[in-house]
Amino acid sequence: MSVKSVILTLGCILVGQGHSRIVETDPKYRTDYQYVRHQDAFYKVHRELRSWHDAYLYCKLEGGSLLYPKTVEESTLFVEMVQEFLPNITDVWVGAHDLFATDIYVDTDGIEISQSYAPWSPGEPVAPSRWSTPEHCVEMRSDSKLNNIECDRRRPFVCKKLNRNITINAACRTPDAAFFPSEDGTRCYKVHRLPKTWMDAFAICNAEQAYLSIINDKKEAEFIIKEVKSVLESVFTDFNKNYIAIGFHDKTAEGLYETIHGQDLNSVYHEWSSGQPDAKRDSDDCGALTVDGLIDDIDCDKQRMLFVCERDIKTDEEARSPNQN
Ligand SMILES: [Ca+2]
Ligand SMILES: [Ca+2]
Ligand SMILES: [Ca+2]
């Protein structure tokens, strides 16, 4: 049975009980989330495999939280979603852990799961021993039972957003309040305070339905540098302060520098630092802006930098014909 038919079936049952019908298209959150009326919440199944910590982070970046089904009804929905979207997968992360204190399993709201719904597999959670790797994170198996396991295992996961928690950032047409519009109102930016590698920065902007900023002209370069400098003082971890990750690369063809939207680098801002690009190593395939306002090719997955995500603000008309650039 598909999730759609499950939702419709549940909807009909609920209608029979005097509740309103489940509608999938309204209200709206992100286009990649599906609304389920009996939970008054939106859900997204992530097929890609991630560690528990990354699953937690990606749900946050999307504005939601890693789903922990707190009721039998939501657990049933969870299993149906997994069967529909992940047919060959047996184990899926849920938003529960004992990272705060051993053996106290809490959900992402910090509430001990034994107070809501905690269907552990027989014999689980296995208590830590001196000889075993700690199992601080919780997965749900195909039999809908919970198991604690090492957090760095890679599993698919489901994110959830409660309808009542949605805010709309109208100027930037996103639920994410951290985006702010440019002076001319044609694009929006979000400055991240967590330094990341180029590849992680790309993935994070993508999760936010935005893109790693593409520097179109000198004015935008200066703007991005000013914004990043304004948050430098509030970043306490160690990272490369000379670079800002930006959206160009030569990953697809060595020496062919393009923006992440496939435009020739020469069609956007491309004032190289002296002696650049040097492509010292094969891994120097990713774009950075120096704090002096010049560009450089750097490694994609080693040094961590600050970055800015960018969103074009399209009119509804433009959004319907996505190939306009
Ligand atoms: Ca276990
Ligand atoms: Ca731009
Ligand atoms: Ca270089």
Beta strand 305-312 pairing with 243-249: parallel
Q: Over the stretch 136-149, which tens digit does the pLDDT of each residue have?
A: 999 999 889 999 99
* Contact predicate 125/100, CB 8 Å: no
Contact indicator for 200, 186 with CB cutoff of 8 Å:
no
Peptide bond between residue 125 and the one before it cis (omega within 30 degrees of 0)? yes
Whether omega before 27 lies within 30 degrees of 0, making that bond cis, reads yes
C-alpha 61 to ligand 2 mean position (Å) = 21
Is the bond leading into 277 cis (omega within 30 degrees of zero)? yes
Distance of CA 90 from the midpoint of ligand 1 (Å): 15
- Three-state DSSP string of 1-17: CCHHHHHHHHHHHHHHC
Q: What is the mean pLDDT of the chain?
A: 88
Which of 152-156, 163-167, 200-204 is predicted with the least confidence, judged by mean pLDDT? Answer: 163-167
User: Counting ligands in written order, which one lies closest to the CA of residue 216?
Assistant: 2
211 contacts: CB under 8 Å, gap ≥ 6:
205, 247, 260, 261, 309, 310, 311
Q: How many helices (H) and strands (E) does the chain have?
A: 6, 16
- Tens-place pLDDT, residues 11-58: 433 333 333 334 455 667 888 999 999 999 999 999 999 999 999 999
Cβ–Cβ under 8 Å, residues 310 and 205: yes
pLDDT at 325: 45
User: Is the CATH number of domain 3-164 3.40.190.10?
Assistant: no
Domain 170-320 sits in CATH 1.10.357.10: no
**pLDDT tens, residue by residue, 309-324:** 999 987 555 555 555 4
Place of tokens 């759609």: 4
d(CA 206, ligand 2 centre) in Å: 15
Give percent of the chain with pLDDT exceeding 70.
Answer: 86
Quick one: which ligand is closest to 135's CA? 1
CA of 140 to the centre of ligand 1 (A): 11
Residue 237 has pLDDT above 90, yes or no: no
pLDDT at 282: 65
Residue type at 62? E
Q: Say how many C-beta atoms besides its own lie within 10 A of residue 322's C-beta.
A: 8
Q: Determine the Cα–Cα distance for residues 270 and 257; give it in Å rounded to an integer.
A: 10
Give me the pLDDT at residue 28, please: 78
Distance CA 59, CA 65 (A): 5
Q: pLDDT of 87-135, one tens digit each? A: 888 899 999 999 999 999 999 999 999 999 999 999 999 887 777 888 9
| CA gap 295, 221 in Å, rounded | 10
Q: Give CA angle at 4 (113, 2), nearest 5°.
A: 85
Per cent of the chain over pLDDT 90 is 70
Contacting residues for 7 by C-beta, under 8 A, at least 6 apart: 22, 24, 36
CA of 249 to the centre of ligand 3 (A): 11
* CATH 3.10.100.10 location in the chain: 3-164, 170-320
Query: Which of the ligands is closest to the CA of residue 124?
Result: 1
What digits encode the pLDDT tens for the residues 151-162? 999 999 999 999
User: d(Cα 128, Cα 131) in Å, to the nearest integer?
Assistant: 8
* CA proximity to 43, closest of 18, 19, 68, 21: 68
